[in-house]
Amino acid sequence: MPEEFEFRAMKGASFWGVDLEGATFRDVDLTGVTISHARVVDVSIDAFVERLTVNGVDVTNHVNAHDAWFPLRAMVHASDPAGMRATWEALETAWAPVIVRGAALPPEQQHRSVDGEWSFVETLRHLVFAMDKWCTVPVLGGTFAPMGLPNTGSREFGWPGVDLDLDPPLADVLDVRADRAARFRDYLATLEPDALGRAVEVLENGTSAVAECIFVVFEEEFQHLRYATRDLDHLEA
């Protein structure tokens, strides 16, 4: 089987004569990476793009101008409290019509998987979990919502208070999601720059700075917004 590299610090590593055909790079930081003497054939990149040069040509503006998710994609990387507040407002605004679309579906479609991915209800349950894991519990001192849905690979971790046997209706999930969103919004409203570096303990992931926790919440919300939009297009068709 192909070797897997997870949560490895490989800054400054060199790959010489390495066959990466068919490789997958997920949740990686490629800042400052140099690729030379390479064959780039049938390659798909889905990423935040800033100063990307291909064969001596800066393609950054072209890529971002044709990216339907820009500038929201760029806002996810906000590094100061004001930018973070603007990002959360933009994410909530973007999610609002998607929630309306999902709520308009018959209940059986709200729970239906598209191409083996999470259903609309499961997606929102996962976002409740992600908010709890990265903010409600470590930053705000709260508890996990029972309906939260961890990633498949993390379900055996033993998340306190999470009941994996639950199968709640969309309305119940939306109520809990709204509660978590309000707490997060209130926290950001009074967030000061010096708090961003505060270290907190995140279950399963260990010590993280508050800024990193907020970024993960943003990233989860942004990526699953895209997935939900994609799947709703299929369900509505």
CB 92 within 8 A of CB 177: no
pTM strictly above 0.85: yes
Average pLDDT in the chain: 95
Of 70, 94, 128, at which residue does a domain stop?
Answer: 70
Domain co-membership, 94 together with 3: no
| pLDDT tens, position by position, 121-131 | 999 999 999 99
Domain co-membership, 97 together with 148: yes
Question: CATH number for the domain including 185?
Answer: 1.20.120.450
**What share of the chain in percent tops pLDDT 90?**
85
Of 21, 48, 70, at which residue does a domain stop?
Answer: 70
Structural domain of 185: 76-236
Domain co-membership, 47 together with 89: no
| pLDDT tens, position by position, 27-51 | 888 999 999 999 989 999 988 889 9
Domain co-membership, 39 together with 111: no
Of 40, 70, 100, at which residue does a domain stop?
Answer: 70
Alpha carbons within 13 A on the beta-carbon side of 44: 5
Q: For helices 81-103 and 210-236, what crossing angle results, to 10°?
A: 20
Domain co-membership, 101 together with 187: yes
Whether 7 has a pLDDT exceeding 80, the answer reads no
Domain co-membership, 61 together with 175: no
Whether 5 has a pLDDT exceeding 90, the answer reads no
Domain co-membership, 65 together with 80: no
Domain co-membership, 96 together with 191: yes
